[in-house]
């Protein structure tokens, strides 16, 4: 009975050891494996088996992009202003073996390297330049950190200056300067607005005067054309009247000629014509001798008839 129990215990121990030697590596993880204290291999995602008692996992590495927010560091600018600047570093482990054996504490190493690099860069810049050159500072720190962390199997993707804290008196002076600048801009905008308004009013008056002048000009032109048209119509009416009188006269003469009038009729017509001439305002009328004899004859006839 005792040997059977021992056999069962041995089998269970063997199964436990076998199960413990089966490792499943999840996605975005990497296992660094040593055999008898020496690096053997790096396991990536999937199922793996390790030799019992001689293989061991010395480091589990996260392959995701990591973020480290470092505490504010005191830095001094070229114009001797002390500021507090905190940084955020985004990095990713690209070589688990170098990460495991390259440096004892990679995060602490990155923090110290970031602080020294930041002091070197800020020490070459003045305060105003520092406050307006964040992108330049970020790029310089990223390049330096990326080169320095290559032997550690780390790639630095981005570096951001999270906050810049100048001294209190500098902040007060900057706030006053910003207030004065805003007031200056407000005055400029107000003056420009008043100027633009005055220009628009003047242009409006100018356009109104131009439109009024054009309207008066058009009215005068239309009036002159109307008068001209009226005179033309009046002249045409007079011409038509004269033409009709002439036509009537010609028609009368034509009818008179067609009736073959005698001498007596012609004499009477002549006398009627002189009668119309004498009916005017003329003070003297010269009558031809032929007409005078005819007139005398007509008067004699009148007496005889009476």
Is the pLDDT reported for residue 266 higher than 90?
no
In this prediction, residue 176 carries a pLDDT of 80
Return the C-alpha torsion angle 144, 150, 154, 160, nearest 10: 10
**Lowest-confidence segment of 10-24, 74-88, 254-268 by average pLDDT:** 254-268
**Cα–Cα distance, 81 to 78 (Å, whole number):** 7
In this prediction, residue 93 carries a pLDDT of 92
E-assigned strands of the chain? Answer: 22-25, 29-35, 38-43, 46-49, 55-62, 65-69, 73-76, 82-93, 154-165
**Lowest-confidence segment of 62-71, 238-247, 285-294 by average pLDDT:** 285-294
In this prediction, residue 6 carries a pLDDT of 78
**Lowest-confidence segment of 22-26, 98-102, 268-272 by average pLDDT:** 268-272
In this prediction, residue 306 carries a pLDDT of 47
User: How many percent of the chain have pLDDT more than 70?
Assistant: 81
In this prediction, residue 32 carries a pLDDT of 92
Is the pLDDT reported for residue 81 higher than 50?
yes
In this prediction, residue 158 carries a pLDDT of 92
Q: What is the largest CA-CA distance in the chain?
A: 202
- What φ, ψ does residue 29 adopt, rounded to 5°? -125, 160
DSSP at 152: G
Q: Would you place residue 67 in the very low, low, confident or very high pLDDT band (cuts 50, 70, 90)?
A: very high
Strand partners, 165: 84
Task: Write out the two tokens for 39.
Answer: 């690096």
Is the pLDDT reported for residue 18 higher than 60?
yes
Q: CA 185 from chain center: how many Å?
A: 23
In this prediction, residue 88 carries a pLDDT of 93
Choice between 149 and 306, residue whose per-residue pLDDT is larger: 149
DSSP at 150: G
Averaged over 192-203, what is the pLDDT?
88
User: How many percent of the chain have pLDDT more than 90?
Assistant: 16
**Cα–Cα distance, 50 to 40 (Å, whole number):** 11
In this prediction, residue 261 carries a pLDDT of 59
**Cα–Cα distance, 145 to 114 (Å, whole number):** 7
Is the pLDDT reported for residue 12 higher than 70?
yes
**239-251: burial string, b at 16+ Cβ within 10 Å, e else:** eeeeeeeeeeeee
Q: Is 198 helix (H, G, I), strand (E, B) or coil?
A: helix
In this prediction, residue 278 carries a pLDDT of 55
Give every CB contact of residue 58 below 8 A, 6+ residues apart in sequence. 32, 33, 34, 100
Task: Write out the two tokens for 293.
Answer: 């004899």
Mean pLDDT of the chain: 81
Task: Write out the two tokens for 128.
Answer: 């105003």
Cβ-based neighbour number of residue 196 at 10 Å? 10
Find, among 141, 26, 152, the residue nearest to 101 by Cα: 152
In this prediction, residue 31 carries a pLDDT of 92
Helices (H) and strands (E) in the chain, counts: 8, 9
Is pTM beyond 0.85 here?
no
Q: For the chain, what's the residue count?
A: 306
Averaged over 54-68, what is the pLDDT?
89
Q: Would you place residue 143 in the very low, low, confident or very high pLDDT band (cuts 50, 70, 90)?
A: very high
In this prediction, residue 22 carries a pLDDT of 84
In this prediction, residue 290 carries a pLDDT of 54
């Amino acid at each position: 009975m005792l040997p059977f129990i021992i056999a069962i215990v041995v089998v269970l121990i063997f199964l436990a050891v076998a199960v413990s030697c089966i490792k499943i590596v999840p996605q975005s993880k990497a296992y660094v494996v040593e055999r008898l204290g020496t690096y053997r291999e790096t396991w990536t995602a999937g199922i793996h088996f390790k030799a019992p008692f001689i293989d061991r996992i010395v480091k589990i590495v996260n392959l995701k992009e990591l973020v480290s927010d470092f505490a504010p560091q005191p830095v001094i600018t070229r114009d001797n202003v002390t500021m507090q600047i905190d940084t955020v570093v985004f990095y990713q482990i690209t070589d688990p073996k170098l990460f495991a054996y390259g440096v004892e504490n990679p995060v602490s190493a990155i923090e110290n390297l970031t602080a020294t690099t930041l002091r070197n860069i800020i020490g070459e810049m003045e305060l105003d330049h520092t406050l307006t050159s964040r992108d330049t500072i970020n790029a310089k720190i990223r390049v330096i950190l990326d080169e320095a962390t290559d032997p550690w199997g780390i790639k630095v993707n981005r570096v951001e200056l999270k906050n810049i804290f100048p001294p209190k008196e500098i902040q007060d002076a900057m706030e006053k300067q910003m207030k004065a600048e805003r007031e200056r801009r407000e005055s400029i905008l107000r003056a420009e607005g008043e100027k633009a308004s005055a220009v628009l009013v003047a242009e409006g008056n100018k356009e109104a005067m131009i439109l009024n002048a054009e309207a008066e000009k058009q009215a005068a032109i239309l009036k002159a054309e109307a008068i001209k048209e009226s005179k033309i119509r009046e002249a045409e009416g007079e011409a038509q009247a004269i033409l009709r009188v002439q036509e009537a006269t010609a028609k009368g003469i034509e009818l008179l000629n067609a009736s073959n009038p005698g001498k007596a009729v012609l004499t009477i017509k002549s006398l009627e014509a002189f009668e119309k001439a004498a009916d005017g305002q003329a003070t003297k009328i010269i009558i031809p001798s032929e007409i005078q004899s005819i007139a005398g004859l007509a008067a004699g006839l009148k007496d005889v008839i009476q």
